[in-house]
Chain A
Amino acid sequence: MSNEVRRFSHGSRVPGWDDAVDLTKEPASVPDPATTPVPDELRAEIEAAMAKYPDRRSAALPALAAAQRHHGWCSPEAIEQVACVMRLTPAYLTAVATFYDMFDTQPVGRHRVYVCTNISCSLRGADELCERIEQAAAGDPDISVRHFECLGACDIAPMASVDGVYVGPIELDEVDELIDDIRNGRPPLPRKQLRLRPTADSLPLDGKDNG
């Protein structure tokens, strides 16, 4: 058996592929403002975004981002609200939202941790780091950990983005502290934040490692 190529063991699943429609629902056209309440704050944010562009549709990404901030994720309700303000169909916005990695079309925790497992980070142990962070956060509904492609900070590999804040290089023994910081709403590993890091080029070439 072992010399054969194993089949059907790593079959694939993409969420959505197996879903039929619900025939009891109405077709989803552009939501009518008369029947789609939108929180004022969100509406204002979306309208401000639309005003920035020659074509209002350009605001789709900022509007979805605003809705995600507001609702925690791009829920069907959130998407309907954006659709209503932007005069687009919710399907259009779903197509957009599912294309981009940063929009969550499934519920997630309040804190998003993206752990980079791309080449440079994985060369420096990111795969194990990612596993450890996942384990440390397991069972905490407030923290969603996911592996991510190169985040553009390979100089601090292995690294993670915690609610948008870049930290790295993260040692395995710093994982608990990191999760603790996140849980308690503290800045994540402040000493390891990218914002504080000098440019490599401006450091003296004294043979000291900084990786």
Chain B
Amino acid sequence: MPRPEIKMITFSIDGREVQAPENTMLVDAAKYGDVEIPVFCYEPKLGQPVGACRMCLVEIEGIPKLQTACSTPVKDGMVVHTQTQRVHEAQEAVVEFLLLNHPLDCPVCDKGGECPLQDISFGWGGGRSRFVEPKRHFQKPLELSPLIAIDRERCILCYRCVRYSQEVSEDYQLVLQERGAASYVATFDGHPYVAPFSGNIVELCPVGALTSKPYRFRARPWDIEGAGTVCTMCPGQCNVTLTVRDDRVLRVLARDHEEVDDGWLCDRGRFAYQSFHVDERITSPLVRVDGELRPVPWDHALDVAADALKRAGGAVGALAGGGTTNEEGFLLQRIAREALGSPHLDSQRAPVDRRSLLAIGDPGLQATVPDIEYAHAVLVLDTEPVDEMAILDLRIRKGVRRRRVRLAVASARPSALDGNAALSVRFAPGGGPAFAAELVAAARGEAASDDARAVVDLLRGAGEDVVIVASERVGAALAALADALGLRDRDGAGLIVVPSSANGRGLREVGVLPDAGPGLAPVARPGLHAAEMARAGAEGELTAFWLHGVDPLRDLPYRERWEQALDRATDVIAHAAFLTEGIREHATVVFPVEAYAEKDGTLTHPDGRLQRVRPGIGLQGRNRYGWQVLADLGRRLGLELRVLTAGMALAEVAAAVPFYAGLTQDEIGGRGIRWQEREAASAYPRPEGLPDLAAPTVREGAGLRLGTFRSIWASPEVEHSPALRFLVPRQRVEMAPADADRLGLGDGQRVVVSANGSRVEATVTLRHAVPAGSVFLQDGLVRDAANTLTGSVVEIRPAVTSEVAG
């Protein structure tokens, strides 16, 4: 639904005339007059007010009963009193009621010092208790999940956590049981509350009833500092505040940004900070000596790396990914192109050519994150938001739930959003681009499949404002589709293209592409894209690899070919935080990469917002800033890069990317800025037409078609965060019950999945919603990852279990 218009009205509060937007709830309207009305249950992010806690009672002239300010929309001429005897008595009564059974164990409570209940008891309570009955006492704290502890004595039954579970994350796992004074927060039959966004309830709880287990008893509010930055663990780029004590990150909180994250975080973003401070992290440069990676002085490592790169020259293949910043990507490509003379650069998992990228990145076709909420319809195409850009999942749900957005999902694998979709269609694994081409045909009124036509009809039927959330790999067809649906230059409509790495959009705009330089400018001599690099490496054409935040064995398809390539390469220079397999086995030089909490630089959000990553803690161990390492390398390779600070590095980027022209750290600030909204956006290169759209590929074969996906939990940060380790996925093969029946397989059975002689072991997971004929395996795992398989048609048979004696 389109955004509502806002009208200002005048009302009176405690005798003063105040202007506020019409129909905002009195609690919020009061703030325009600097009046604070205490609340517990009110939290607009959770949807409609529920009026449960009764803390916010106020007097409104003309209404006999006291009214809850959290649920009363302000109207012109309203006369409100918050300081009368009646209101005070009611507030004192509610505080007294809330404290009846509250244990008041503030000295041992994690919330103490930042507790709304403490603050409100102090500010609005009567300061005495007449309750002489025994308080209830229960065992505490109890585990609600491996991440969250629950203390039911402290719970004031404000409904926030359960409303969150039901109305925001929609996992419906956390509920109230029983009723009345016996009500308590719990899950079904003692199952843990584990969900991708569960940690948000800790932040929502107004008391110390829900606490983060990793944070419990680690600090007090008066000995911590908050540092704002941006999570770089996925393209969502949520804004966060780091809780820092003694130069360690002890907690990550949301730093509410309506245009980016809406105030939520996923559990990876919230808890994986633990990986910043584990021993396994690389915090020193390493060089392989006698087959073993050894810590060495920086100068030595830089010399070795520079020599290796110089030696390979034009035969270097450079890849960037992970949390690589714009500055780092930019410096990397300059060194590769200018100092080494190598055009082989890439930042994408699947190749999309420059012309397509130019078209899908066109400012006229971009939607913003909040547009998802206000659109008439949203199409999720060939992407699983919860895995690929987690926080979008919540935004899409919000749009559907609160603003009746019509949602269509088109994907190979059943989606977490199917339940919210007005229409879900499935295509064969790998068929995303082809299905998009069909959608284009359907939108143009040409012949197309029923599914494609149904999707287009749904989108058109809903209204003009359509937002398409799609994976980058879909490519050119996205631009054609947006045009065919008339989305060009339409406010509130357009594309949100989910890249394959956290800063995928930034990296491509600063030129980490084989066929485009900074600003997507054409290059004289295009290089190889990632998959070709693997082949070229395996065949000896490329002799060195330069990996920035990427481990090809983990992050890219064609694992076998990459293994050969890395094996054969004379040198592998890696910038990495952890010794994942490819780095551990093949790197000759490793430079430590800062955790984002240490980093200084900028990222570009998939909707074009440049955001600053700002250091909240000092560099750990012997770490150096990434831009500094690259500048040092450049200098050794004869390229003077003129960067002495992160700001200077950004200036270089801004000078090279025409549509970033003039950007500074100050302009980006704490909330970021979308480049499309700046004047320089007009410097975006004109689209140059589209390549032919993918034709439907009909893959014949006797076996099952393999689709792959990478779970939100498949990442080294998760593996190295003790609290999250229980979530590290193991390989399982999702299949339709019909296929399993045919093959005589049952749920939970161990099987071998093979293709062209390559094989992985997995556990069968039967899913009703998987279309027969397709099976799905995960990528990004430590072992048995899907990229081990060399074909896309697989066979499945029971694993031969070795007999264990006894």
Q: Quick check: do A and B touch in the complex, using CB within 8 A?
A: yes
What is the distance, in angstroms, from A94's C-beta to the closest C-beta of chain B? 5
Asked whether, in the complex, the Cβ of B172 is within 8 Å of the Cβ of A88, the reply is yes
- B140 and chain A: residue at smallest CB distance: A18
**Contact: A98 with B178, CB < 8 Å?**
yes
**Is there an interface contact between B737 and A34, defined as CB atoms closer than 8 Å?**
yes
Known interface pairs A32-B767, A91-B173, A98-B179; A27-B186 also in contact (CB < 8 Å): no
Say whether B132 faces chain A, with CB atoms less than 8 Å apart: yes
- With A25-B191, A27-B192, A29-B173 in contact, do A19 and B186 touch (Cβ < 8 Å)? yes
- Assuming the contacts A19-B186, A32-B767, asked whether A92 and B143 have C-beta atoms less than 8 A apart, the reply is no
Closest-CB distance, B419 to chain A (whole angstroms): 7
Task: Check A14 against B172 for contact (C-beta < 8 Å).
Answer: no
Are A16 and B192 in contact, with the CB atoms below 8 A? no
Contact with A along B129-160 (1 / 0, CB 8 A): 00010101111001111100000100000000
In Å, the complex CA distance between A87 and B195 comes to 18
CB-CB under 8 A from A89, the residues of chain B are 171-173, 188
A89 to B601, alpha carbons, bound, how many Å? Answer: 43
Q: Is the CB of A11 within 8 A of B766?
A: no
Interface centre among B173, B175, B189 (most CB of A within 10 A): B189
Q: A22 and B192: CB pair below 8 A? A: yes
Which of the 9-residue segments A2-10, A125-133, A178-186 touches chain B? A2-10
Shortest distance between the CB of A18 and any CB in chain B (Å): 5
A76 close to B189 (CB less than 8 A): yes
Binary per-residue interface labels of chain A (73-113) against chain B in the complex, 1 for a CB within 8 Å, 0 otherwise: 00010010000000111111111001100000000000000
Residue pair A32, B134 in contact (C-beta under 8 Å): no
Structural contact, B766 and A35, CB atoms closer than 8 A: yes
- Beta-carbon nearest neighbor of B155 in chain A: A17
A20 to chain B, nearest CB (A): 4
Indicate if the CB atoms of A95 and B177 lie closer than 8 Å.
yes
Residue in A closest to B141 when the chains form the complex, CB atoms: A20
CB pair B178–A99 under 8 Å, yes or no, is yes
Given contacts A23-B143, A25-B192, contact A95 B767 (CB under 8 A): no
Q: Which of B134, B142, B191 has the most CB of A within 10 A?
A: B191
The A-contacting residues of B in range 389-422, CB under 8 angstroms, are 419
A27 touching B142 in the complex, CB below 8 Å, given contacts A22-B190, A90-B188: no
Q: Is the CB of A27 within 8 A of B194?
A: yes
Residue on B nearest A90 in the bound complex, by CB: B188
Q: In the bound complex, what is the Cα–Cα distance between A17 and B767 (angstroms)?
A: 34
B215: chain A residues within 8 A (beta carbon): none
Cα distance A11–B166 when bound, in Å? 33
Q: State whether the Cβ of B747 lies closer than 8 Å to any Cβ in chain A.
A: yes
**Chain A contacts for B136, CB-based, 8 A:** 11-12, 17
Tell yes or no: B182 within 8 A of A by CB: yes
Query: How many Å from the CB of B695 to the closest CB on chain A?
Result: 34
Interface of B is mostly: loop
Provide the residues of chain A in CB contact with B767, threshold 8 Å.
32, 34
- Residues of B in contact (CB 8 Å), total 44
Do the beta carbons of B143 and A91 come within 8 Å of each other? Answer: no
Residues of B within 8 A of A16 (CB): 177-178, 184, 186
Q: Answer whether residue B643 sits at the interface, using C-beta atoms and an 8 A cutoff.
A: no
The answer to the question of A28 belonging to the interface, with a C-beta cut-off of 8 Å to chain B, is yes
Q: Interface on chain A toward B: helix, strand, loop, or mixed SS? A: loop
By a CB distance below 8 angstroms, the chain B residues around A27 are: 171, 173, 191-195
CA–CA, A190 and B193, complex, Å:
50
Verify if B300 is at the interface (C-beta below 8 Å from A): no
Contact (A28, B188) CB under 8 Å given A88-B172, A89-B171, A95-B175: yes
Binary flags per residue of A39-78, CB closer than 8 Å to B gives 1, else 0: 0000000000000000000000000000000000000100
Task: Please give the distance in Å from A126's CB to the nearest CB on chain B.
Answer: 22
Which residues from chain B contact A79 at a C-beta distance below 8 Å?
188-189
Q: Tell me, yes or no, whether A26 is within 8 Å of chain B by CB.
A: yes
Provided the pairs A32-B766, A90-B188 are in contact, do residues A20 and B142 lie with their beta carbons within 8 angstroms? yes
A18, A21, A76 interface centre (most CB from chain B within 10 Å): A21
Are A76 and B188 neighbours in the complex by a CB distance under 8 Å?
yes
Asked, given contacts A23-B192, A29-B173, A99-B178, whether A10 binds B134 with beta carbons under 8 Å apart, the answer is yes
B187 contacts the other chain (CB 8 A): yes
**Complex-state Cα separation, A89 to B138, whole angstroms:** 27
- B189's nearest neighbour on chain A, judged by CB, is A76
Provide the residues of chain B in CB contact with A23, threshold 8 Å: 143, 145-146, 192, 726
CB-nearest residue of chain B relative to A101?
B179
Could you tell me if A98 and B191 are in contact, using CB atoms closer than 8 angstroms? Answer: no
Who on chain B is nearest to A19 by CB? B190
Instruction: Say if the beta carbon of B16 comes within 8 Å of chain A.
Output: no
Residues on the A chain within 8 Å of B184, using CB:
14, 16-17
Question: In the bound complex, what is the Cα–Cα distance between A14 and B138 (angstroms)?
Answer: 10
Q: Which chain B residue has the least Cβ–Cβ distance from A93? A: B188
Any chain B CB within 8 A of the CB of A187?
A: no
Listed in ascending order, the chain A residues whose CB lies under 8 Å from chain B are: 5, 7-12, 14, 16-23, 25-30, 32-35, 76, 79, 87-95, 98-99
28 pairs across A/B with beta carbons < 8 Å? Answer: A11-B134, A11-B137, A14-B178, A14-B184, A16-B186, A17-B136, A19-B142, A19-B186, A21-B187, A25-B191, A26-B194, A27-B171, A27-B192, A27-B194, A34-B736, A34-B766, A34-B767, A88-B172, A89-B172, A89-B188, A90-B188, A91-B175, A91-B187, A93-B188, A95-B176, A98-B178, A98-B179, A99-B178
Q: Point out residues on B near A: beta carbons under 8 Å.
A: 132, 134, 136-139, 142-146, 152, 162, 166, 171-179, 182, 184, 186-195, 419, 726, 736-737, 747, 766-769
Task: Give 6 closest A-B pairs by Cβ, nearest first.
Answer: A95-B175, A20-B142, A34-B766, A27-B194, A91-B188, A89-B172
Given contacts A21-B191, A94-B186, 7 further A-B pairs with CB under 8 A are A21-B143, A22-B191, A29-B171, A89-B171, A91-B172, A91-B188, A94-B175
